[in-house]
Chain A
Amino acid sequence: MRKQKFLLKTVVYVLLLLGATITTIPFLYMVSTSLKGQTYVFEVPPKFIPTDPTLQNFSDAWNSNNFQGYFMNSVFVSVLTTVIVLISSSMLAFAFARFHFRGKRFLFMIILLTLMIPGMMLIIPQFILAKNLGLLNNLWGLVFVYVAMNIAVNTFLLRGFFEGIPRELEDATRIDGGGFFTIFFKVVLPLSKPALATVAIFTFLFGWDEFVWAVISINEPEKYTLPVAIATFHGAHQTQWGLVFAASLFAIFPVILAFVLLQKHFIKGLTAGSVKG
């Protein structure tokens, strides 16, 4: 029996390691390629350990065509999107969780419905709208559309969380004469830090990784965000894979770091809806 258990455990570990290898090899190869000089990128046989490892690609990428600017553009867009989504969807979620108002059901249905509509469906009219509002080639144009794309899902998440907060805590504030804004900012929000963290992480990542709307609405190179810059980089330097991957690693490093540090909130956000029922 004991022997059997040991055998079973070994099989489990072997399978897990096998899967993990398949998952990570492409990443390791990307890192390896980013450390190779151009002459070694198409070397046959391909080598996992670079022959003359160099950080040249990283310094070239970082200093080339305004890459630092792209990085800052991505920071700007992701941070602003996150802040606006945090404020607006938590307020709307509070309205849904605590108020009775006319058209509440209807409004809720609309938001539910848009969750099922693929964001890409809106890309053509969004382009026309942005053009009419002068929001093409404008980082604010990215922010506004990203906010709109993230409100529905986060309002849902926060509404669920707010409904779980005991009402007694608010009653005390009401008796002391506090208004709805006091309740919202002083009672509900401080108690909702875990849910707000989840919203912040996922919204930030959305802004950081979003490609389609950015590539459609931004044409001026100095306004590129990182995903657009990397794709364009690849288009312009087809065979310079070392350079492309060095740039890619700059873009994904903050994401991986955030995931490793904030794993708890990631998992919570992912599973918030799925295991409820």
Chain B
Amino acid sequence: MEKDLYRSKQVIFFILPAMFFFLAFNTYPILKALQMSFYQWNILMPSESEFIGFDNYLQAMKDPVFWTSLKNSIIYTTVTVPSQMVLGLFVAVLLDQSIKGKAFFRTLYYLPVITSWVVVSLLFKYLFNSQAGLINYILKDFLHIIPSYINWLQEPGTALAVIMLLGIWKGVGWSMVIFLAALQNIPEDLKEAATIDGASPIHFFFKVTLPLLKPTIAFISIMLIIGGFNVFISVLLITGGGPLQKTEVLLTYMYNQGFGNLNFGYGAALSYILGAIIFIISAVQMKIFNKPVDM
């Protein structure tokens, strides 16, 4: 294969346009963030910035709000990732049957995925409104599950629950589409052979389908975990990290430090800590699944 490739100086014309944008607005900022994370960054006069070594990183270790935000990011990821995967796979298996209206259902389930985070975040804020919100009404006056209206967004615990519910609701369709494509790749004759052998559908699912889905599960879980640690817009718009910074996640905290308190150096350090966490988790996962993921 390799010897068939063209060798020509002209290749530079094909590389340059993309590399210009990539180096200027992607590679350079990555390196710049690393540099900034070692400084007490002075926004007005960057050249006056004071080099402080690892102080920003050490500050994070001693910062209770950092630990809260890390804890919340971990909770968000541990709850939303398995939920999206299980529900997504479940819906995909249902849609993989010979049923009518497959495209219709797929479109409905995919609707939240293509709707912008800004819109769905505001929508959930309205649905979980403490006074006249639809959810409170359904739970109290319709189903009589709760004795009185809940202040969903004023309590850290319930506010986080709402944010996670939004994450799951918005994400199920994505896992579903990818699982469905993988399920449709499983050869029909395999299923037929199993039916003739008298294997029950449930037995078949756990013994044949799931093992065949391993690469898909690896891909989805890595993407969702990265997404989980990247949760931002929903938190920013629904609680803003409040009350008292109790629902802060890593990215809202970084954002508030950077653009609220103008602690750019500390913000950059927080972003590198996040990057390191994601990198380590992805590397461990690839090791577990024993094969790199094709993007």
Chain A 18-31, CB-CB to B under 8 Å as 1, else 0, gives: 01101110110110
Q: Is the CB of B18 within 8 A of A118?
A: no
Asked, given contacts A116-B279, A180-B6, A205-B114, whether A259 binds B21 with beta carbons under 8 Å apart, the answer is: no
In the complex, what's the smallest C-beta–C-beta distance from B49 to chain A, in angstroms? 11
Q: Is the CB of B4 within 8 A of A129?
A: no
Alpha-carbon distance A205/B114, docked complex (angstroms): 8
Alpha-carbon distance A148/B91, docked complex (angstroms): 35
Alpha-carbon distance A44/B134, docked complex (angstroms): 9
Contacts of B259 in A (CB 8 A): 127, 216
Q: Is the CB of A148 within 8 A of B25?
A: yes
Q: Is the CB of B295 within 8 A of A123?
A: no
Alpha-carbon distance A29/B127, docked complex (angstroms): 9
Contacts of B229 in A (CB 8 A): 118
Contacts of B119 in A (CB 8 A): 227, 230, 248, 251-252
Q: Is the CB of A114 within 8 A of B295?
A: no
Asked whether B51 is an interface residue with its Cβ less than 8 Å from the other chain, the reply is: no
Alpha-carbon distance A245/B124, docked complex (angstroms): 12
Nearest CB to that of A21 among chain B residues? B108
In the complex, what's the smallest C-beta–C-beta distance from B12 to chain A, in angstroms? 8
Asked, given contacts A23-B108, A274-B182, A275-B185, whether A99 binds B177 with beta carbons under 8 Å apart, the answer is: no
Contacts of A120 in B (CB 8 A): 230, 232, 251, 254-255, 271, 274
Asked whether B291 is an interface residue with its Cβ less than 8 Å from the other chain, the reply is: yes
Contacts of B232 in A (CB 8 A): 120, 212
In the complex, what's the smallest C-beta–C-beta distance from A111 to chain B, in angstroms? 7
In the complex, what's the smallest C-beta–C-beta distance from B34 to chain A, in angstroms? 9
Alpha-carbon distance A259/B104, docked complex (angstroms): 12
Q: Is the CB of B15 within 8 A of A92?
A: yes
Asked, given contacts A95-B15, A124-B271, A251-B119, whether A270 binds B177 with beta carbons under 8 Å apart, the answer is: yes
Q: Is the CB of A124 within 8 A of B258?
A: yes
Contacts of B91 in A (CB 8 A): 16, 19
Q: Is the CB of A277 within 8 A of B294?
A: yes
Contacts of B199 in A (CB 8 A): none
Which residues 13-41 of B have a CB within 8 angstroms of A?
13-15, 17-19, 21-22, 24-30, 32-33, 36
Contacts of B118 in A (CB 8 A): 209, 211, 227, 230-231, 248
Alpha-carbon distance A166/B98, docked complex (angstroms): 36
Asked whether B284 is an interface residue with its Cβ less than 8 Å from the other chain, the reply is: no
Q: For B264, give its contact among A29, A128, A145, A266 (CB under 8 Å).
A: A128
Chain A 174-206, CB-CB to B under 8 Å as 1, else 0, gives: 000001110010000000000000000000010
Contacts of A24 in B (CB 8 A): 108, 111
Chain A 205-247, CB-CB to B under 8 Å as 1, else 0, gives: 1001101100010000000000100110010000001001100
In the complex, what's the smallest C-beta–C-beta distance from B26 to chain A, in angstroms? 4
Q: Is the CB of A129 within 8 A of B115?
A: no
Nearest CB to that of B17 among chain A residues? A88
Alpha-carbon distance A230/B115, docked complex (angstroms): 13
Asked whether B46 is an interface residue with its Cβ less than 8 Å from the other chain, the reply is: yes
Asked whether A138 is an interface residue with its Cβ less than 8 Å from the other chain, the reply is: no
On chain B, which size bracket covers the interface?
35 or more
Alpha-carbon distance A153/B293, docked complex (angstroms): 13
Asked whether B200 is an interface residue with its Cβ less than 8 Å from the other chain, the reply is: no
Asked whether A7 is an interface residue with its Cβ less than 8 Å from the other chain, the reply is: no
Alpha-carbon distance A151/B99, docked complex (angstroms): 39
Q: For A148, give its contact among B26, B127, B141 (CB under 8 Å).
A: B26
Asked, given contacts A123-B258, A211-B117, whether A128 binds B46 with beta carbons under 8 Å apart, the answer is: yes
Which residues 41-74 of A have a CB within 8 angstroms of B?
41-46
Chain B 132-155, CB-CB to A under 8 Å as 1, else 0, gives: 111001000100000000000000
Q: Is the CB of B25 within 8 A of A124?
A: no
Q: Is the CB of B271 within 8 A of A271?
A: no
In the complex, what's the smallest C-beta–C-beta distance from B158 to chain A, in angstroms? 18
Nearest CB to that of A135 among chain B residues? B25
Contacts of A29 in B (CB 8 A): 123, 127, 134
Which 3 residue pairs across A and B have the least CB separation, nearest first?
A148-B25, A125-B32, A92-B18
Given contacts A12-B97, A30-B123, A124-B33, 14 further A-B contacts (CB under 8 A): A16-B91, A92-B17, A95-B15, A99-B11, A107-B19, A114-B27, A120-B230, A120-B274, A122-B26, A180-B8, A180-B14, A205-B114, A263-B107, A275-B185
Residues of B in contact with A (beta carbons under 8 Å apart):
2, 4-8, 10-11, 13-15, 17-19, 21-22, 24-30, 32-33, 36, 43, 46, 87, 91, 94-95, 97, 99, 103, 105-112, 114-120, 122-124, 126-127, 129, 131-134, 137, 141, 169, 172-174, 177-178, 181-182, 185, 215-216, 219-220, 226, 229-230, 232-233, 237, 251, 254-255, 258-259, 264, 267-268, 271-272, 274-275, 278-279, 282, 291, 293-295
A-B contact pairs, 9 of them (CB 8 A): A26-B120, A99-B11, A101-B11, A123-B255, A125-B268, A129-B28, A259-B107, A271-B182, A274-B220
